[in-house]
Amino acid sequence: MPETRTLLLLPGDGIGPEVMAEVRRVIDWLARRRNLEFDLSEGLVGGAAIDAHGTPLADATMVEALAADAVLLGAVGGPKWDDLPFAIKPERGLLRLRKEMALFANLRPAMVFPALIGASTLRPEVVSGLDILIVRELTGGVYFGEPKGIETLPDGSRRGVNTQVYTTEEIRRVARVAFELAGRRRGHVCSVDKANVMESGVLWREEVQRLHDEVFPDVTLTHMYADNCAMQLVRHPSQFDVIVTDNLFGDMLSDEAAMLTGSLGMLPSASLGAADASGRRRALYEPVHGSAPDIAGKGLANPLAMLLSFAMCLRYSFALAAEAELLEAAVASVLDGGLRTADIMENGKARVSTRVMGEAVTAALGKLA
């Protein structure tokens, strides 16, 4: 019996469906040429789900996501749904997936492909060789803390509240992922907080340090304030190996790190839950770039972040490290060959559409395999 690998595709909104179509091309290639079968299903999330079901994530889709070996998500959101009440906005669909699948560790690697050094807004010598892994806490902090809401005060003015909150266990489990990954990289973790201002940051720093001292003394641990980290990322990014940080700082710092690599269109991500007794982790893979409604449907989107997210899926959910590396090598070779989507376009390169980029990556798979 061939192993079954269940994969739920949630293309979502904006450029999500376009970039997901290019992943399907790679999945077809793996089935045809590598005899790797995926049991695919597709569902709706975000605005697409609101239009069909009146909710950004139907319960039936949530059940499917919980049962799948892995979920691939395109992007959610767009101006069409901006005026909806907060509780049913497209983004709530994504946040529900993260929360109910308990995907507390969000891995966002920012790597510069040599061919794209010139596409960064920073000088080549600053970004050359850049290889940072941001581990963002994803199911806690101010994104989910209670109390939250907007209330009207007796004088008619209003008050908006969100709560930054972390527990020992929430901090330790994400820090553990960061230390383990650092052990397989250059062995350095930088933990980022605002311990100079926030009690939750003091606790963050103490718990990360304690876990380090107890279990991971061989990893080098440093601490940095989040504002300083934002500055250091553009001043001297190659000082970082693994950065571990909370949900909100991780959201901001990962967009910043992505841009160092030339384009937000290049950055993949993996969101992982705890390993069960058999070692299986719930997992969701998505590009960091978002739905980009302004360019949706025009063939302008860069599918590489989505394809690199699928490479992470092959590696982390299906233990197909060789295929993951093959896909990453195919992306690198297409860039070396001079093909560029609009977001990474440079003088002298060939500007191509989403589909042509996806076809070129699939063709490169065939050549490299």
251 catalytically annotated: yes
Per-residue binding letters, 194-233, with ligand IPM (x by CB under 6 A) = ----------------------------------------
Output 237 or 250, the one with its CB closest to Mg ion: 250
Stretch that binds ligand IPM, among 20-28, 89-97, 191-199, 361-369 (CB under 6 A): 89-97
324 contact, one of Mg ion, ligand IPM, none, CB 5-8 Å limit per kind: none
CA nearest to 27, candidates 354, 216, 309: 309
Q: What DSSP assignment string belongs to 314-359? A: HHHTT--HHHHHHHHHHHHHHHHTTEE-GGG--TTSEE--HHHHHH
Q: Closest separation between CB of residue 288 and Mg ion, Å?
A: 7
The residues with which 290 forms a beta bridge, in sequence order, are none
Output 44 or 288, the one with its CB closest to ligand IPM: 288
- Binding test (CB under 6 A) with ligand IPM, winner from 7, 70, 94, 326: 94
241 sits near Mg ion (criterion: CB under 5 A): no
Region class of 290: left (phi > 0), else alpha (psi between -120 and 50), else beta = left
Pick the catalytic residue: 218, 227, 294, 336?
227
CA nearest to 23, candidates 34, 38, 44: 38
Strands 220-225 and 188-193: parallel
Q: Closest separation between CB of residue 131 and ligand IPM, Å?
A: 20
Stretch that binds ligand IPM, among 90-98, 175-183, 201-209, 259-267 (CB under 6 A): 90-98
Q: What DSSP assignment string belongs to 100-119? A: HTT--EEEEEEE--GGGGGG
**Angstrom distance (rounded) from CA 12 to CA 45:** 5
Q: Closest separation between CB of residue 124 and Mg ion, Å?
A: 26
Look-up of token digits 């959201």: 251
Stretch that binds Mg ion, among 33-41, 68-76, 187-195, 245-253 (CB under 5 A): 245-253
- Binding test (CB under 6 A) with ligand IPM, winner from 251, 323, 328, 343: 251
List C-alpha distances in Å: 189 to 139, 181, 193, 219, 232. 21, 9, 13, 7, 15
251 sits near Mg ion (criterion: CB under 5 A): yes
Binding residues vs ligand IPM (CB under 6 A): 91, 94-95, 251, 288
Residues with a catalytic annotation lie at 143, 194, 227, 251, 255
